[in-house]
Amino acid sequence: MMLLTPDAWQSYELLDFGDFEKLERFGEYVLIRPEPQAVVSKHLKASEWQKRSSVAFLPKSANSGEWVRSPGNKMPDRWQITYQSQKLSLKFRLALTGFKHIGIFPEQAANWEFIASCCGKLKKPKVLNLFAYTGGATLAAAYAGAEVTHVDSVKQVVTWANDNRELNRLGEVRWMVEDALRFAQREVRRGNVYQGIILDPPAYGIGASGERWKLEEKINELVEVLSQLLDPQQGFLVFNAYSMGFSPLILETLLSTHFRKLTPKQLEFGELYFSDLARRRLPMGVFARFSFFNPA
């Protein structure tokens, strides 16, 4: 089992975490956001958090809240950051929304690198990105030369993802506002095959037509369908999950069950994390991924 953390970020930094909050720098702005896995005490003093922060998210209910700026801070509602590595050069539009999310999951850079490596080994691969949100993985695949189908049930975040594509001056992407499972089932019936599949399902949600999604109830069926969509010779898959109590061994078992050609040597799985200034590690989700070829 692996522990992975992105090491190329310059415009993102986890400064501190604790008491169910995290202090993060996105570009020139520092945010305070809720974090259910920050069960320890904060390392920095409360006065230091207040001094450093530009804005804090205050929950009002289980699904919404408001952003409160520090006194005198004129942070905009929207801004941009850049991710730069040897393989990728990407820009992202961020925004203060009515939820704690701002349009990016920076820990996913560890998977963007894997996606870019895989796509770079193939000639114009077809990649399917499910539960694709604002498109970090879509950008990584498109940057590396892939033809990407981007699927999310929320129209607003698909529009946001297209804004990111335009910001990066990348080629066309196939945008689908659709329930992930239903779309995948239709693609199987159409006989379509993808060289890359990426999925980052939520713990629960509601689809474009009111379909209810609950991770533990639907994920086995979805992975079985995806096993029929992936190219058995030149395929790769990235499976990420951020769900409290969801073990990476569950992802490993799902993939090894449904992708029977897969060997233990090909399959990587574990946890993503970031370290704060005190070098304490905060878990940021679990992952499993593989390729039927060597992406290095």
Residue 209's pLDDT is 65
Q: What confidence category does residue 294 fall into, taking pLDDT thresholds of 50, 70 and 90?
A: confident
Helices and strands in the chain, H and E counts: 7, 17
CA distance 125 to 142: 10
Residue 194's pLDDT is 98
Residue 61's pLDDT is 85
User: Rounded to whole angstroms, what are the CA distances from 265 to 118, 237, 269?
Assistant: 16, 15, 11
How do residues 246-271 score in pLDDT, each as one tens digit?
Answer: 899 999 999 999 999 999 999 999 99
In this structure, how many other beta carbons lie within 10 angstroms of the beta carbon of residue 124?
A: 9
**Same domain, yes or no: 71 and 84:** no
| Tally of domains in the chain | 2
**Same domain, yes or no: 195 and 255:** yes
CA dihedral 182, 107, 48, 50 (to 10 degrees): -30
Mean per-residue pLDDT, 188-194: 98
Whether residue 296 is contained in a domain is answered as no
Residue 207's pLDDT is 63
3-state secondary structure at position 17 = strand
Q: What's phi and psi for 156, nearest 5 deg?
A: -60, -40
What is the SS3 string spanning 143-158?
Answer: HCCCEEEEEECCHHHH
**Same domain, yes or no: 37 and 158:** no
Q: Is the pLDDT of residue 241 over 70?
A: yes
Q: What confidence category does residue 13 fall into, taking pLDDT thresholds of 50, 70 and 90?
A: very high
**Same domain, yes or no: 42 and 153:** no
Residue 24's pLDDT is 98
**Same domain, yes or no: 124 and 253:** yes
How do residues 152-174 score in pLDDT, each as one tens digit?
Answer: 999 999 999 999 999 999 999 99
Q: Which of 26, 61, 76 is the last residue of a domain?
A: 76
Amino acid at 70: S
Q: What's phi and psi for 73, nearest 5 deg?
A: -85, 130
Whether residue 256 is contained in a domain is answered as yes
Mean per-residue pLDDT, 6-20: 98
Identify the domain containing residue 11 by its residue range.
2-76
**Same domain, yes or no: 36 and 84:** no
Q: Give the chain's largest Cα–Cα span.
A: 59
Sequence-separated contacts (24+) of 21-29 with Cβ below 8 Å: 22/282, 23/49, 23/52, 23/53, 23/276, 26/79, 26/81, 26/94, 26/102, 26/104, 26/106, 27/79, 27/80, 27/81, 27/94, 28/79, 29/54, 29/55, 29/75, 29/79
Report the chain's mean pLDDT, rounded to a whole number.
95
Q: Is the pLDDT of residue 62 over 80?
A: no
Q: Is the pLDDT of residue 41 over 90?
A: yes
Whether residue 101 is contained in a domain is answered as yes
CATH code for the domain of 173: 3.40.50.150
Mean per-residue pLDDT, 232-248: 89
Whether residue 84 is contained in a domain is answered as yes
Closest CA to 119 of 232, 237, 5: 237
CA distance 150 to 152: 7
**Same domain, yes or no: 132 and 152:** yes
**Same domain, yes or no: 28 and 92:** no
Mean per-residue pLDDT, 83-92: 98
How do residues 101-147 score in pLDDT, each as one tens digit?
Answer: 999 999 999 999 999 999 999 999 999 999 999 999 999 999 999 99
